Amino acid sequence: MAPPSYSDIGKQARDVFGKGYHFGLVKLDVKSKTSSGVEFTAGGSSSTDGGKVTGSLETKYKIKEHGLSLTEKWNTDNSLNTTVDYDKLVPGLKLTLDGSFQPNSGSKSGKFKTEYKHEKFLFNADLN
């Protein structure tokens, strides 16, 4: 078993006090999964003081036999985020291509991430 990544150390302790406690905020998340394995998540939030209402729609497609996973998320800020994961190249290696596009301004960004887990170590690298 690979050691945990640095960001995962203490995560469970932080989640006890921070996850699920939204003071002054109303949240709703709805998740569904089709018979073909496509996952849908719709979510929204609003502050109780009459502030901004935000929402998002996320779809996730998995092709397990090829080791591919495609996640697309569109939110009310009019940004489209897409993530493609591939993990069948080498055992323990996960490659991720993460992109963002804002249609109203035309701005684009992308990131290439790698993660390699071995019994004795864990290696992460990101490229913008």
Q: What is the pLDDT of residue 115?
A: 93
Give the side-chain half-sphere CA count within 13 A for 100. Answer: 11
Q: What is the pLDDT of residue 23?
A: 75
53: left (phi over 0), alpha (psi -120 to 50) or beta: beta
What is the spatial distance between Cα 27 and Cα 29, in angstroms, rounded to a whole number?
A: 7
In the chain, the percentage of residues whose pLDDT exceeds 70 is 95
Give the side-chain half-sphere CA count within 13 A for 38. Answer: 6
What is the spatial distance between Cα 85 and Cα 3, in angstroms, rounded to a whole number?
A: 21
Residue 102 in this model has a pLDDT that exceeds 80: yes
| Amino acid in the structure at residue 91 | P
Question: Contact, 72 vs 46, CB < 8 A?
Answer: no
pLDDT tens figures, 25-76: 888 999 999 998 899 999 999 988 877 899 999 999 999 899 999 999 999 9
Beta bridge partners of 58: 41, 73
- 4-13 b/e (C-beta count within 10 Å ≥ 16 → b): eeeeeeeeee
Residue 17 in this model has a pLDDT that exceeds 80: no
Q: What is the pLDDT of residue 16?
A: 73
Average pLDDT, the chain: 89
71 vs 118, higher pLDDT = 71
pTM: 0.79
